[in-house]
Chain A
Amino acid sequence: GESVGLHLPTLSVQEGDNSIINCAYSNSASDYFIWYKQESGKGPQFIIDIRSNMDKRQGQRVTVLLNKTVKHLSLQIAATQPGDSAVYFCAEKGGRGSTLGRLYFGRGTQLTVWP
């Protein structure tokens, strides 16, 4: 994506450990962020989202943290399982005037979970 990037292209964790995937964005006016999981041969699957008026949001085994001061987004996966192995993308939306409805994607992080 043009303004959304990921700090690490790959992440390997042991089953049962917690995983943290990071994402940086550059547009301070972005107002909505989404994390997607993509498995091989499939489309991106929605995991969790967060609006800019929030700092943290929790789902089932996942937590998204938003730090607007440093324009940083992270996805935390608790008790990582082999089924969590996939590419994870962050996406941002909003604050770009005429580009309403358009998502800007990071390049993705490949998460590998080993037993």
Chain B
Amino acid sequence: KAGVTQTPRYLIKTRGQQVTLSCSPISGHRSVSWYQQTPGQGLQFLFEYFSETQRNKGNFPGRFSGRQFSNSRSEMNVSTLELGDSALYLCASSPTADSNYGYTFGSGTRLTVV
């Protein structure tokens, strides 16, 4: 069974640009959540999607957005990039939105903003 796939693995962007990250969950999993990981703040929740609907959103500015497609694949977008957006962005999938099972993470996308 394939795991959670995140693309691309690495990105370098310039301040002011925008970026789109992609996440393909484990086959059959319908919930996708996104986290930002930085050395200073640790793992912080961005948002969670289930059946193409955003169910939860963390405390991030509106520059951070996401969506989920009918095949459960998800994308997140960050507009007007700032240096502080440099981080490892992680995606996790689980069978359902309130499942007490699993939560498998991908390898992440390392975003560097210069």
Q: Which residues of chain A have a CB within 8 Å of any CB of chain B?
A: 1, 31-32, 34, 36, 42-46, 49, 51, 89, 91, 93-94, 98-108
Contact flag A101-B106 (CB < 8 Å), given A32-B100, A44-B90, A108-B42: no
Interface centre among A34, A101, A106 (most CB of B within 10 A): A101
User: What are some 8 contacts across the A-B interface (CB < 8 A)?
Assistant: A51-B100, A91-B103, A93-B100, A100-B97, A102-B45, A102-B56, A105-B43, A108-B42
Q: How extensive is the interface on chain B, given as a class?
A: 20 to 34
| Contact with B42, one of A46, A49, A94, A105 (Cβ below 8 angstroms) | A105
Give the CA-CA distance A39 to B70 in the complex, in Å: 32
Partner of B33, one of A45, A46, A102: A102
Known: A34-B103, A101-B56; 13 extra A-B contacts, CB below 8 A, are A32-B100, A42-B108, A43-B4, A43-B6, A43-B105, A43-B107, A44-B90, A44-B105, A100-B97, A101-B55, A101-B99, A103-B33, A103-B92
| Chain B interface, DSSP helix/strand/loop, else mixed | strand
Which residues of chain A are within 8 angstroms of B101 by Cβ–Cβ distance?
A: 49
Q: Does B102 contact A (CB under 8 A)?
A: yes
Chain B residues whose CB sits within 8 angstroms of the CB of A44 once the complex forms: 43, 90, 105
Q: Mark B29-66, 1 if CB is under 8 A from A, else 0.
A: 00101010000001101001010000110100000000
Query: How many angstroms between the C-alpha atoms of A103 and B6 in the bound complex?
Result: 19
Residues of A within 8 A of B99 (CB): 101
Are A42 and B107 in touch, CB under 8 angstroms? yes
CA distance A82 to B108 in the complex (A): 24
Q: How far is the CB of A112 from chain B (nearest CB, A)?
A: 17
